[in-house]
Amino acid sequence: MNEYPEVRKLRRTHRGRIAGGVCSGLGEYFGVDPNIIRIALGISCFFGGLGVAVYAAGWLLLPDEGKDTSIVQDLISKQQANKSWPQDWNRPHEPAAPFQEPRDAAQAPTGEQRPQS
């Protein structure tokens, strides 16, 4: 027989999901009715919007049921895979071309066409 009970993982669940599954996931993890968590977050919205911030953080940081990574982890790994910045910061810098003043039609050498006005 297994000495260790099954490890519970905090996830956003699909069962009982209303918006993002944060409250239902927290309720399942802690063994509490998700409606109690929803009410607590709703009340905390009146205190500086704390409920909205907590729910948004849970939605971004908790992985969805059936996944191993959260939305933030997916975005970070996608950003690291698609790095557009140069890998070598120590390579020599190539200077830009020097600024040249536009030539006036009167200064144009002979043989060049002068703009019509």
Q: What are phi and psi of 45, to 5 degrees?
A: -65, -30
pLDDT digits (tens, 9 = 90+) for 58-107: 999 989 888 888 889 888 888 888 775 555 556 666 666 776 776 665 56
Query: Which has more pLDDT, 3 or 33?
Result: 33
Q: 24, 21, 8: which is closest to 70 by C-alpha?
A: 21
Q: 18, 15, 9, 22: which is closest to 57 by C-alpha?
A: 22
In DSSP notation, 22-91 reads HHHHHHHHHTS-HHHHHHHHHHHTTTTTHHHHHHHHHHHHSPBTT-SS-HHHHHHHHHHHT--S-S-TTS
